[in-house]
Amino acid sequence: MGSYVNKNLGAGESVVREAKTSWIPYLPAVVLGIITLPVFGLGLLIIIAIWLTIWSTELAVTNRKVVAKVGFIRRDTIEMRLGKVESVQVKQSLFGRMFNYGTIIISGAGNPQAPIRNIARPLEFRRAVNELVESQAA
């Protein structure tokens, strides 16, 4: 798991499930980057930007909260206690369903919706969050 999540674990808190960014939605841009590599290094910039996007996205659920971080230079973070989670939605395009990636949207009491895009195996992550939320409510 990424450094942001690990650095923000509380005492007695542990990561239950983590999600990774899928590389599939970025494949056309990677191909474009490879094709344009000889042109002023433009392709290299495209590939580096994609790598930074994938590398800098972290999403995890711990035994206490859901944690997400997106971005390298401009960072957006979300930390929501499991007791505040109202819903976890998954949005998938046709390709997302075919290649098992999608956008996870976490909604909570008093918090705006938080979309995290291009997450691999989003239904598994949603199931893990819902199981933890239900176990804490019991």
pTM for the full predicted model:
0.89
Domain boundary assignment for the chain: 3-21+57-137
Cα 4 to Cα 88: distance, rounded to the nearest angstrom: 21
Per residue in 91-129, pLDDT (tens digit) is 999 999 999 999 999 998 876 777 899 999 999 999 999
Percent of the chain with pLDDT over 70: 98
Q: Which secondary-structure segment (H or E) carries 13?
A: none
Per residue in 36-84, pLDDT (tens digit) is 888 777 888 888 989 999 999 999 999 999 999 998 888 999 999 999 9
CATH of the structural domain 3-21+57-137, one choice from 2.40.30.10, 3.30.565.10, 2.30.29.30, 1.10.3720.10: 2.30.29.30
User: Helix and strand tally (H, E) in the chain?
Assistant: 5, 7
* Cα separation values, 21 from 10, 27, 65, 118, Å: 24, 13, 19, 6
Per residue in 75-84, pLDDT (tens digit) is 999 999 999 9
